[in-house]
Each structure stands twice: as C-alpha cells, then as structure tokens.
Structure 1
Amino acid sequence: MKISDSVERIDGTMANSYYVNLNGEKIIIDAGTPGSGKKIIAYLESNRIKPDAVLVTHYHPDHTGGLMALHAKFGMDIYVPVGEAGIISGMERFPPRPFMPRFASMVMHAGHVREIKTTSEIPFKGIEPLKTPGHTRDSTSYILSGENIIFSGDAAVNLRGSPGYNRAFSASGETAEKSLREIESLHYLILPGHGNPMDFRNSV
C-alpha cells in the first residue's frame, strides 16, 4: 500500500510493517511475526531493496518476530527502544504481565537478535523517536518530520476508524491513554501497528 512518495506499507504482515526511503536511506519500521519476516524479505527482494536499518516500536513478538530472518538475510542495523533492548535481545526475561503478550511470544517462538542498537543511536536525519509508553514500558513511535507522519506501533492502532489501544495487551492503561492523546495532538498522518492509516493533518 503506497502511503506517499517515500513511504509504503508492506502488505500481508500480521502487524503493519512499513518501508521508508529517507533521502536514500532504506528503513523498515517493525519486523512482524516470524512468518511476516519472510513476506518482508520477499517484498524487499522483489523491489531490489537492501535495507539499511529496522526501527522497532516495541518488544511484542508480532513486531519483532521477523528480526532474525531479516538480519540473517541483510545484516542491517536494528534500533530498538532503550528500555526494551534487554527483552528484544533475549538478555532479559519477557515480562509476566500482561499475560496476552507473553502467551503470544510462547506461541510464535520468536527468536532473539543480539546485534542491536538503541533509539539513542539513530543516525538518520528526518526521522525522530518519540517515547509513547503505556502499551509497553518504553514503546516508541517514530516521526517522519518532513511529511507530518508518525509511525505509532501499538501506541495508536486503528479501532473502527479511530485511534485507540488494546487494553488486554497494554502494560498501563493510564499511561497508554496519555500517549494516545499526545499522538492525536500532533495532527499528523498516523500509520498504526494495526489497521489502516488515520489522517489528522487537517483536524486542527
């Protein structure tokens, strides 16, 4: 699904994964499930794209499951939220609560990639991390400032056409609500982790 001249949603993944061409830098936002990783690779190969980096919004396995396959294929840099690097790399145990993400991780058998960097090390100009915690403890969205686009992961998903979050999968409903309000207040095009884009650019 083409979003703009520089952004495309990679169709067929369980959680949304996006391709961004940022001034020649080729960036993937989120890596889907282990099965979705194969679809992302197929998309990249069919378009002759060698990614420079993957930016991860949060540690849930439907957003990180494809990292192993992508890294094995392309060896690109992987940038993850600072407070979730231990979980994504497998150096820290998956949190016991909430239960649903933990159960999903056991079912999906998502592996771990040790060769990761954190959002504090992102070198690309024009894309900025924004902490949007609540869904997970350090959930991070990414702002494409030149286009007024925000990749919100699961901090804002499309619930029947409106931004929301999944309470059963979220660590803190109160914090998630605050992050959701902040995302809405930006008046950007929201590209969520689940569902279609939501355009708030003309809602000032």
Structure 2
Amino acid sequence: MHQLHCIPALKDNYIWILTNSANQAIIIDPGEAKPVINYINKHKISPLGILLTHHHIDHTGGVCELKAQYQNIDVYGPNEIDLPINYLINQNKVDIGDFCFDVIAVPGHTLGHLAYYCSPYLFSGDTLFSAGCGRVFEGTYQQMLDSLKQLKQLPDDTLICASHEYTLSNLAFSLQMLPDDKNIKDYLDLISKKPITLPSILSKEKKLTYF
C-alpha cells in the first residue's frame, strides 16, 4: 500500500513523495532540497529514488543537495536534464525498490517531458494540471494535445499529482471562456477556499477541460 505526501515549495510548486509500508520513499520533482529533508527527518522516511519530469530548475533544483545528503539514492529522468542521473531513454517502466512506475513520454511543455504512473497516482509534472495544461515552451500544440490524449486513456480514478497549484487561476480562465458551464462553477465553489487543491481525479478533469 502506497501513501502520498505533498510538500509545498518555492512559489507554487508541489514536491510529491510516495511511500510504501516500510516508509521507503520516491521523491518527484524536488525543486528545492530543504523542505524535502525536513519532511524526511520529521517522518523518519528512507528515500530510495528521485523521479524528474523535465529539466526546468523549479523541478530539479534540489537534486544535487539531496544526492549529497542521501548518497545511495537513485535519480531518473529524461535525457534533456543536464545532471548526472539515470536517463530513461525509450523505457516504458522504471522499478525502484518495490515501486513500479509506468513511464509516459508527454512532449509539449518541453520536448523530453515524462510523466510517471503508479496506480492510482499520475505524476504529470507541467503537462496536465487541474482544470488546465502546461504552457508549450519547446514542443508544439499538437504534441501537447497528443500527450493529453495519452493521459486521458488512464483509468478514471487516476489521481492527478501535478507540480503546481494553478487550479483557481485555471478555473477563473475557463469561466471567462465558458461562463455558463455548471461543472466549472461547481468545482470552483468546492475548492475556492482550499489551500491545496491537488491531487484531483481524472474523471473530474475530463468534465472540466473536455480534453
């Protein structure tokens, strides 16, 4: 049985930690190290690995310090990342300890962007947010659309663990475009006072974003 932990970081980032019954952990997109180290120490967690979705510094900035602190930790990510890590090239799975993740190539935000799925959790980085998707910086809009269509095929109960807290601003934008949409209005009312709106659920996202 896996347990999900959410660590707010930087301005609006989330660093995700997934633990198993032995309190071993996988860290996803550590944009900074200090809050992760503090959380690990407080909860007596043993980190096994780090998964990186893409090369932006707010997702990788804590890797070197964490690697220095936990020297046996394994780090994985796409080959667009300029760090001494294990590159996931043409791999559709990665196993770390007893954790098994499907590796999904989702270009668009960046060309090498990866997402990681360990049922029911999807670590979508900056590809899929709640009520929106990431900016297209390096890829094409068609690539982003194709990537979202890939994620849409996951089970409806998939929990979307995105890397930023953008839900309210995404919903506000959606409401400007679709002012009479009941799904958007109801969800905005539901989460408007929540400091953390993630993870969201894929079935809900299909109704909110029509992707």
TM beyond 0.5: yes
- CA–CA distance in 2 between the matches of 1:54 and 1:172? 28
Name the residue aligned to 1:7: 4
For residues 131-164 of structure 1, what are the alpha-carbon distances to aligned partners after superposition, in whole Å with 9 as ceiling and x for unaligned?
Answer: 111111111101012xx22110001123xxx131
- CA–CA distance in 2 between the matches of 1:194 and 1:170? 19
Alignment match of 2:64 (pick from 68, 75, 80): 68
Name the residue aligned to 1:99: none
Name the residue aligned to 1:46: 42
Residue 23 (structure 1) shift: 5.2
User: Is 2:17 the partner of 1:19?
Assistant: yes
User: Is 2:84 the partner of 1:133?
Assistant: no
Query: Would you say the 8 A contact 1:53–1:78 is kept in 2?
Result: yes
- CA–CA distance in 2 between the matches of 1:60 and 1:122? 21
Alignment match of 1:192 (pick from 162, 165, 170): 162
- CA–CA distance in 1 between the matches of 2:34 and 2:138? 27
Residue 194 (structure 1) shift: 1.0
- CA–CA distance in 2 between the matches of 1:29 and 1:62? 12
- CA–CA distance in 2 between the matches of 1:129 and 1:23? 23
Name the residue aligned to 2:124: 152
Query: Would you say the 8 A contact 1:133–1:176 is kept in 2?
Result: yes
* Structure 2: unaligned runs, 5 residues or longer: 166-197
For residues 44-64 of structure 1, what are the alpha-carbon distances to aligned partners after superposition, in whole Å with 9 as ceiling and x for unaligned?
Answer: 111112211000011111100
Structure 2 length as normaliser, TM-score?
0.69
Query: Would you say the 8 A contact 1:190–1:199 is kept in 2?
Result: yes
Residue 185 (structure 1) shift: 3.4
- CA–CA distance in 1 between the matches of 2:36 and 2:16? 9
CA gap 1:30/1:177 in 2 versus in 1, 3 angstroms = same
Residue 65 (structure 1) shift: 0.6
> Which structure shows the bigger proportion of residues in strand conformation?
2
Task: Output aligned runs, 1:47-126, within 5 Å.
Answer: 47-75=43-71, 76-81=73-78, 83-84=79-80, 87-89=81-83, 114=84, 116-119=85-88, 120=91, 122-124=94-96, 125-126=99-100
Alignment match of 1:174 (pick from 136, 142, 146): 142
Letter in 1 for 2:42: S
- CA–CA distance in 2 between the matches of 1:183 and 1:170? 19
- CA–CA distance in 1 between the matches of 2:149 and 2:94? 25
Percentage identity across paired residues of the two chains? 28
- CA–CA distance in 1 between the matches of 2:36 and 2:47? 11
- CA–CA distance in 2 between the matches of 1:77 and 1:13? 23
Greater displacement, 11-20 / 38-47: 11-20
For residues 86-139 of structure 1, what are the alpha-carbon distances to aligned partners after superposition, in whole Å with 9 as ceiling and x for unaligned?
Answer: x322xxxxxxxxxxxxxxxxxxxxxxxx2x112348323432211111111111
CA gap 1:171/1:6 in 2 versus in 1, 3 angstroms = same
Structure 1 length as normaliser, TM-score?
0.71
Structure showing greater radius of gyration is 2
Q: 3-state DSSP class of the match of 2:115?
A: strand
Name the residue aligned to 1:110: none
Q: 3-state DSSP class of the match of 1:59?
A: coil
